[in-house]
Amino acid sequence: MFKRATTVVLVAAAAAALAITAAAVPQSRATSSATAAGGSSSGASATPQPTTAATDPTIGRTPTFSVDFDTPAAADGPFAATYAQSWQPYPDGTGSKYYSSKMVSAHDGYMDIALDGEHGSAGTFGTPEDAWSHVGGSFSIRARATGGDKNGAAIMLWPTSNDWADGELNYPEGNFDGSPRVFHHSMLPGLEKASDNYNTRVSWRDWHTYTTEWIPGRAIHYYLDGKLVFTVARNVPTTPHRYMVQVGNWGKAGHLQIDWVRTYDAQ
């Protein structure tokens, strides 16, 4: 759902999905739900493919990266300093849309991305050294949204190469007044907008845990609250990616709250 260009933010209303666009940062477009020749696209209520990965891949494992946002930190400097080893934001003013320093804080045990309809936020989870080097593994986030109608979020694995054809895996993604979804994009050059889609049919307003298990070149398993809900065995990346979040600069006031983030190396 994202590529590099000049930052333009769009809402994929028909698919209830967030789409964001940029040059050196992922950008958004509307998501295509129609199958492109040779591409990968399925309806928003697609049925999970058969799989043997029914067990949450994070159970009993030690994460290679973990952040719980337990230390309170205000916006405008303290958050960036406190979580410098966990959060790598876009520079303020990127695309004249993203101003994470103004909008992101930590309190009450969670990361709070404020939504004001004017300033978007975006950044990568992980350390400055390792955030861009994931090749396979499991990626989990526990989150919910309050308010923010007509705005939305895209939490994704985006290629470090910034080449859209290297694969884009978005989960969860969608408008906050809708349901979080999977948008698993085609890796065929020119057909990257096509995607395999899955609608969780839960609410952004409730706390949920979203996990993406990436087995390079073989399959992607998507989990909701520890339960396997969707598997895609085509268009599976094999090159380094980063795990990140973007929210738009439109819609009503509100908050995206992130309780914790965990990443695990490939098994």
| Cα gap 158→169, rounded to integer Å | 7
Residue 72 structure tokens: 């309170």
Residue 28 included in any domain? no
Q: Which amino acid is at 113?
A: I
Q: Is 123 helix (H, G, I), strand (E, B) or coil?
A: strand
Residue 156 included in any domain? yes
Residue 128 belongs to domain spanning: 40-264
Rounded to an integer, the average pLDDT of 23-46 is 35
| Cα gap 60→260, rounded to integer Å | 17
pLDDT at 97: 96
- Decide if 89 contacts 102 (C-beta within 8 A): no
pLDDT at 54: 66
pLDDT at 64: 97
Residue 202 included in any domain? yes
Residue 11 included in any domain? no
Q: Domain of 129: which CATH number?
A: 2.60.120.200
> pLDDT tens digit string along 92-147?
999 999 999 999 999 999 999 999 999 999 999 999 999 999 999 999 999 999 99
Residue 1 included in any domain? no
Q: Which amino acid is at 50?
A: P
- Decide if 137 contacts 214 (C-beta within 8 A): yes
Residue 34 included in any domain? no
Residue with more model confidence, 241 or 56: 241
> pLDDT tens digit string along 220-234?
999 999 999 999 999
Residue 179 structure tokens: 């349901």
Does residue 61 register a pLDDT over 80?
A: yes
Question: What is the number of domains present in the chain?
Answer: 1
Does residue 29 register a pLDDT over 90?
A: no
Residue 53 pLDDT grade (very low, low, confident, very high; cuts 50, 70, 90): low
Residue 29 included in any domain? no
Does residue 60 register a pLDDT over 60?
A: yes
Least confident of 9-13, 204-208, 253-257, 259-263: 9-13
Residue 62 included in any domain? yes
